[in-house]
Amino acid sequence: MTVRLPDEQSDPARARLLVVVAVPAEADAVLRGLGAGPRTPPGRVALPGGALDRVAHPSGVTVDVLAGGVGPGAAAAAAATALTAARYDLALSAGIAGGFAPRAPIGATVVATGIVAADLGAETPEGFADVTELGFGTVRHTPAPTAVALAAEALGAVAATVLTVSTVTGSAARAAALTARHPDAAAEAMEGFGVAEAAARHGVPSFELRTVSNAVGPRDRSAWRIGEALAALERAFALLPHPALVKEAGRG
Ligand SMILES: O=C(O)c1cccc(C(=O)CC[C@H]2O[C@@H](n3cnc4c(=O)[nH]cnc43)[C@H](O)[C@@H]2O)c1
């Protein structure tokens, strides 16, 4: 199936931002933050990767919000579909996340200084070895530092590594192992690395923004604060879109 998004982005003055979230509740929070109501066609487009909502933001940024599914595989497939269907200046993975205490408490916003695949590798007798150590591929994408600093200041956010995992951490031992290996990590989520890999293949820079719904550690569903995290996501997107940020992020 070949899909092309309408090229209403041909105005070179407008920056083009792709936001990939996992689930519709996150897309709704992002759209509320952008000041956009629930979308209907033609503002909403059905892609093979999921529903995509387009917002012509008054800041001069055209924002496409795509709910691509949970996990790095779904995120990569959805992002790649959108990146093939339209041109973007920046691909942003956004949504809720687990926060590493004490750096990122519930409700905190985190912008990624590094987007790191934390469980992509092999167990060896000496411990975990990531795919880079094994001699193939990368486990890290690095957003442009100036853009990270700009966004962190505008949002009052923590700027730190965000891990991408395929399995949500559910024990103190696993949280400690991740912290030991990634002392600079403030959050873990499940999609950032997938979006960044798809973007890299299209020559598009990537970025990640997360708001914290739960602490990384022993599994305790009663302690999740998804409403708080979605409210923080909405606040972040009320402040975030700015052509200068998209341009800075593209400087790599
Ligand atoms: O069943 C559990 O114990 C559990 C704990 C936390 C999150 C989940 C999810 O299924 C949410 C996955 C969804 O949300 C993002 N997310 C939110 N918190 C975390 C986390 O602590 N670790 C990894 N991902 C998290 C993630 O990006 C997914 O989109 C289940």
State the distance from the centre of ligand 1 to the C-alpha of 188, rounded, in angstroms: 8
Q: Supply 143's token pair.
A: 């957003």
Task: Judge if pTM exceeds 0.90.
Answer: yes
Q: Supply 68's token pair.
A: 């691509």
State the distance from the centre of ligand 1 to the C-alpha of 167, rounded, in angstroms: 8
- In short, whether 72's Cβ falls inside 6 Å of ligand 1 is no
Identity of the residue numbered 187: A
Identity of the residue numbered 135: G
Backbone angles phi, psi at 203, to 5 degrees: 70, 25
**Residue 65, Cβ neighbours under 10 Å: how many?**
28
Q: Is 131 buried (19+), middle (13-18) or exposed (0-12) by CB count in 10 A?
A: middle
**Residue 201, Cβ neighbours under 10 Å: how many?**
12
Is residue 9 over pLDDT 70? no
Mean pLDDT of the chain: 92
Instruction: Reduce the DSSP state of residue 148 to 3 states and report it.
Output: helix
Give CA–CA dist 51/44, Å, rounded.
7
Taking residues 54-77, report their average pLDDT: 94
pLDDT of residue 184: 97
Are 53 and 69 in contact by the 8 Å Cβ rule? The answer is: no
The band of 109, judged by pLDDT with boundaries at 50, 70 and 90, is very high
Taking residues 189-205, report their average pLDDT: 98
Residues 6+ apart with CB under 8 A from 109: 155, 156, 157, 158, 209, 210, 211, 212, 232, 235, 236
> Higher pLDDT residue, 101 or 251?
101
Give the CA count within 13 Å in the CB-facing half-sphere of 81.
23
Total residues belonging to the chain: 252
Characterize the bridge pairing of strands 121-124 and 127-130.
antiparallel
Helices vs. strands in the chain: H and E counts, helices first? 7, 12
What digits encode the pLDDT tens for the residues 121-133?
999 999 999 999 9
Give the CA count within 13 Å in the CB-facing half-sphere of 122.
10
- In short, whether 214's Cβ falls inside 6 Å of ligand 1 is yes
Is residue 2 over pLDDT 60? no
Which residue's CA is the closest to the ligand 1 atom numbered 22? Answer: 168
- In short, whether 175's Cβ falls inside 6 Å of ligand 1 is no
